[in-house]
A and B are shown apart, each in its own frame.
Chain A
């Protein structure tokens, strides 16, 4: 890859849960094409997918910006949703504010943010109540 930085941008639609994951799926394809080891691809795509789902569930969608260089993959999911009032609480496994109809779809069990933390090397959350949230996930390509 040299010193090149690959940048990818996606709009995450908020009105259709059935298409949630399209952006992550596309990123997975790109990472595989770049020859990145499968376990790193998995870490990156699971983290991104959970964040993408979160933006659909809680914020009516958002935007994904991905940068890949020879050292890391950085995924930034930004939304203009309600924000997270208590991050510590939101990071607890099992805590969720997702409505019942989302739970019926197999999500909203309070594992999203904990899963992102589990699979990412760095996780940064910037959130402001009433303004929105940016989740920045870093996956290192080198140990």
Chain B
């Protein structure tokens, strides 16, 4: 299986100029692959590894999906800021939550260009 070069969560925060809303204790977490999707059923169907998930979908089921999939980081794109219930649920599950102003395509492109090329499938 091809794996992209690893980067740390702190690198992701910096590359996406993101704000970290939950799980800031995990900044040294190694990220090797990522997945961008607004469709949680697709995430569950195709993702095999513990990816970083980028999504424009904002509801508690995003965190639930991440929980079931052992996904440790969720990035909300397009400047979406999840509500307290979502952030609290993530914090409870040990899932880091980021928000970036970048749109999905640009956010994925920036991470890919920076070497995060693992697709997690």
Q: A25-B64, A50-B44, A112-B41 are in contact. Are A105 and B57 (CB under 8 A)?
A: yes
**A114 contacts the other chain (CB 8 A):** yes
**A72 contacts the other chain (CB 8 A):** no
**A18 contacts the other chain (CB 8 A):** yes
**Cβ–Cβ contact B44 & A21, under 8 A:** no
**B12 contacts the other chain (CB 8 A):** no
Across-interface contacts of A49 in B (CB, < 8 A): 44, 64-65, 68
Across-interface contacts of A46 in B (CB, < 8 A): 44, 68-69
**B30 contacts the other chain (CB 8 A):** no
Across-interface contacts of A118 in B (CB, < 8 A): 45
**Cβ–Cβ contact A45 & B68, under 8 A:** yes
Q: A115-B45, A118-B45 are in contact. Are A38 and B61 (CB under 8 A)?
A: no
**Cβ–Cβ contact B61 & A115, under 8 A:** no
Across-interface contacts of A50 in B (CB, < 8 A): 41, 44
Q: A17-B61, A105-B61 are in contact. Are A111 and B44 (CB under 8 A)?
A: yes
Q: In residues 42-86 of chain A, which contact B (Cβ within 8 Å)?
A: 42, 45-46, 49-50, 53
**B14 contacts the other chain (CB 8 A):** no
**B42 contacts the other chain (CB 8 A):** yes
**Cβ–Cβ contact A42 & B69, under 8 A:** yes
Across-interface contacts of A21 in B (CB, < 8 A): 60-61, 64, 67-68
User: Which of B41, B62, B67 makes the CB contact (< 8 A) with A25?
Assistant: B67
User: Which of B45, B62, B68, B85 makes the CB contact (< 8 A) with A106?
Assistant: B62
**Cβ–Cβ contact A24 & B59, under 8 A:** no
**B40 contacts the other chain (CB 8 A):** yes
**Cβ–Cβ contact B39 & A106, under 8 A:** yes
A19-B60, A110-B41 given; name 14 further pairs at CB < 8 Å.
Answer: A17-B61, A18-B85, A21-B60, A21-B64, A25-B68, A50-B44, A105-B61, A106-B40, A106-B55, A106-B62, A111-B39, A111-B42, A111-B45, A118-B45
Interface residues of A (CB under 8 A from B): 17-21, 24-25, 28, 38, 42, 45-46, 49-50, 53, 105-107, 109-112, 114-115, 118
Would you give 28 A-B contacts (Cβ < 8 Å), ordered by A? A18-B59, A18-B85, A20-B64, A21-B64, A21-B68, A24-B64, A24-B68, A28-B67, A42-B68, A45-B68, A46-B68, A46-B69, A49-B44, A49-B65, A49-B68, A50-B44, A105-B57, A105-B61, A106-B39, A106-B41, A106-B57, A107-B41, A109-B39, A110-B41, A111-B44, A111-B45, A115-B44, A118-B45
